[in-house]
């Protein structure tokens, strides 16, 4: 009886999996530098402002065809290498039945802040699976994915600390004193709340990945207010849990987190770390090491500068990004609402011209 030979054929990625962005998240460099912008879908676009007339923010997020159209607008206009799903970090909390509204000019406001052990005990009784089963989110993602074709869609969720900071404070805060105080005054309640929020964020990410997003990003907008010790003890384990089993490449982003960069890798859970505008990318790459992709980090303030200033800055960011295994060009935070959309379009063209 003759020997049976077998050959293993390598699988060549197709569709969004073959895109420069997803390949960069895998650590590959292609002949095209991938670029997208945090908050690219939103207030800087006149077509967005026109579409949103008469519709509250959270209602727009939970109306599938509207959320899909808003997600697609900047991809059409700017030619970015990924869409970012139009939603808000408090949407999963609304889906879980928590009373929250986004007040124009202020941000998320909660009718019932979570500040005591009994408040925490009440809220953690809610089953996070109600978020995972949210059909408006799944339907909006499906609509976008069908329209984008080979261009990837990035899903996202808020990190447990940032969500907790809003919940405990009852709304936006500069220093998040109540949330940071809870960590030490009642660590049991803190971990119960943060653990529940991690499951909520994971469920929200799961709904998006199930519907077809190609990557996910965890936003920890307020992590920069934490010391390294507090981050490690009270936050990092819950952020890891939020991203665990995401089912897609994972990006982790925080603001003011230069002192936390090694920990932002979440012990290898993340494929890429977003860097804000304060830290040069070559320095960040040295801190993060050779096995993680960097994302960033154009200074959003410079979007108001003359084009020659912007161009020099973008070229510098791209050059510094070469120190990392791979680089995804982005801002160091979100697009300011007063940004001229044509500036973003020119940055995309420049990024594609400069290459990797």
Residue pair 226/152 in contact (Cβ under 8 Å)? The answer is no
pLDDT at 8: 47
Query: Looking at 51-60, 102-111, 284-293, 338-347, which range is the least confident one?
Result: 102-111
Beta strand 272-274 with 293-298 is parallel
Q: Catalogue the long-range contacts made by 117-124 (C-beta closer than 8 Å, 24 or more residues apart).
A: 117/186, 117/188, 117/189, 120/189, 120/192, 120/193, 121/189, 121/192, 123/98, 123/167, 123/193, 123/196, 124/192, 124/193, 124/195, 124/196
Residues forming beta bridges with residue 110, ordered by sequence position? 100
The proportion of the chain whose per-residue pLDDT surpasses 90, expressed as a percent, equals 91
Question: Where does the pLDDT of residue 105 fall: very low under 50, low under 70, confident under 90, or very high at 90 and above?
Answer: confident
CB within 8 A of 305, min separation 6: which ones?
A: 313
Of all helices (H) and strands (E), which one includes residue 343? helix 341-354
Confidence of residue 45 (pLDDT cuts 50, 70, 90): very high
- The DSSP-derived string for 278-309 is TS-HHHHHHHH-TTSEEEEEE-GGGGGS-HHH
With a cut of 70, say whether residue 356 has pLDDT above it.
no
Predicted confidence (pLDDT) per residue in 128-155, tens digit: 999 999 999 999 999 999 999 999 999 9
| Mean pLDDT score across all residues of the chain | 95
Dihedral sign for Cα atoms in the order 40, 43, 48, 52: positive
User: How many other C-beta atoms lie within 10 A of the C-beta of residue 289?
Assistant: 12
Mean pLDDT, residues 3-16 taken together:
63
pTM of the shown model: 0.94
d(CA 29, CA 292): 12
Structural domains in the chain, sorted by start: 16-354 (3.20.20.210)
Positive or negative: CA dihedral 329, 332, 333, 335: negative
Asked if 249 and 271 count as a contact pair (C-beta separation under 8 A), the reply is yes
pLDDT at 1 over 50: no
Specify the pLDDT at position 13. Answer: 81
Instruction: Supply the pLDDT for residue 2.
Output: 44
The rounded Cα 301 to chain-centroid distance in angstroms is 20
pLDDT in tens, 232-258: 999 999 999 999 989 999 999 999 999
| Catalytic residue annotation | 39, 43, 52, 88, 166
pLDDT tens-digit readout, 160-212? 999 999 999 998 888 899 999 999 999 999 999 999 999 999 999 999 999 99
Where b means 16+ CB within 10 Å and e means fewer, 198-219 reads bbbbbbbbbbbbbbbbbbbbbb
pLDDT tens column, 309-336: 999 999 999 999 999 999 999 999 999 9
Strands (E), 81-226: 83-84, 100-103, 107-110, 153-158, 215-220
């Amino acid at each position: 009886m003759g020997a049976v030979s077998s050959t293993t054929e390598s699988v060549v990625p197709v569709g969004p999996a073959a895109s420069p962005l997803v390949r960069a998240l895998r650590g590959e460099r292609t002949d095209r530098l991938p670029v997208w912008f945090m908050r690219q879908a939103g207030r800087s676009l006149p077509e967005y402002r026109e579409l949103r007339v008469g519709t509250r923010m959270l209602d727009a997020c939970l109306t599938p065809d509207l959320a899909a159209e808003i997600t697609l607008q900047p991809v059409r206009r700017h030619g970015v290498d990924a869409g970012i799903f139009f939603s808000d970090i408090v949407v999963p909390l609304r889906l879980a039945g928590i009373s929250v509204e986004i007040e124009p000019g202020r941000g998320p406001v909660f009718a019932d802040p979570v500040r005591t052990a009994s408040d925490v005990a009440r809220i953690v009784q809610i089953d996070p699976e109600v978020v995972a089963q949210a059909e408006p989110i799944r339907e909006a993602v499906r609509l976008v994915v069908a329209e984008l074709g080979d261009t990837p869609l990035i899903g996202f969720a808020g990190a447990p600390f940032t969500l907790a900071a809003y919940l405990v404070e009852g709304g936006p805060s500069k220093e998040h004193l109540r949330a940071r105080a809870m960590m030490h005054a009642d660590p049991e309640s803190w971990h119960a709340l943060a653990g529940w929020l991690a499951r909520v964020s994971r469920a929200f990410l799961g709904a998006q990945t199930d519907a077809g997003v190609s990557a996910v990003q965890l936003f920890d907008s307020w992590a920069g207010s934490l010391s390294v010790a507090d981050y490690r003890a009270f936050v990092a384990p819950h952020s890891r849990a939020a991203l665990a089993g995401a089912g897609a490449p994972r990006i982790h982003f925080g603001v003011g987190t230069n002192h936390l960069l090694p920990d932002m890798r979440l012990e290898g859970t993340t494929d890429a770390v977003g860097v804000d505008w304060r830290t040069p990318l070559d320095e960040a790459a040295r801190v993060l090491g050779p096995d993680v992709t960097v994302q960033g980090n154009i200074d959003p303030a410079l979007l108001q500068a003359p084009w020659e200033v912007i161009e020099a800055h973008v070229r510098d960011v791209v050059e510094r990004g070469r120190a990392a295994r791979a680089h995804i060009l982005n801002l160091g935070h979100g697009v300011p609402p007063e940004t001229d959309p044509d500036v973003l379009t020119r940055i995309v063209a420049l990024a594609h011209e400069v290459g990797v």
